[in-house]
């Protein structure tokens, strides 16, 4: 079995335990900060300011209410995409 440990700037992440993996844009909409899909953020750049980008590693088992997740933060979409390519090599 292939080793599934991704060495990131926030520590070593065991990708074999990831239940969901997704990118998001962190946006500021008139003082409200939230994570939104990249597509939504791109379509609404006239309404929100993109603050940063994140790659979310969700380790929450199915049916659990308390979310267990780690996020890698990026200043640019290009840096996010580079990390996504690194992670994709594990799958």
Q: What is the pLDDT along the chain (91 residues), one digit of tens a residue?
A: 567 999 999 999 999 999 999 999 999 988 999 999 999 999 999 999 999 999 999 999 888 888 899 999 999 999 999 999 999 998 8
Domain tally, the chain: 1
pLDDT on residue 29 = 86
Domain interval for residue 34: 5-88
pLDDT on residue 84 = 96
pLDDT on residue 1 = 58
Which pTM value belongs to this model?
Answer: 0.86
Evaluate the CA torsion angle 62, 60, 84, 38 in order and state its sign. positive
pLDDT on residue 3 = 79
What is the CA angle 13-18-23, rounded to 5?
85
């Amino acid at each position: 079995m292939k080793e599934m440990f991704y060495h990131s700037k926030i520590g070593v992440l065991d990708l074999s335990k990831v239940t969901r993996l997704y990118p998001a844009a962190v946006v500021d909409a008139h003082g409200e900060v939230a994570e939104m899909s990249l597509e939504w953020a791109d379509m609404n750049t006239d309404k929100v300011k993109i603050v940063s980008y994140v790659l979310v590693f969700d380790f929450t088992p199915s049916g659990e209410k308390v979310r267990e997740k780690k996020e890698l933060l990026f200043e640019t979409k290009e840096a996010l995409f580079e990390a996504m390519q690194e992670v994709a090599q594990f799958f």
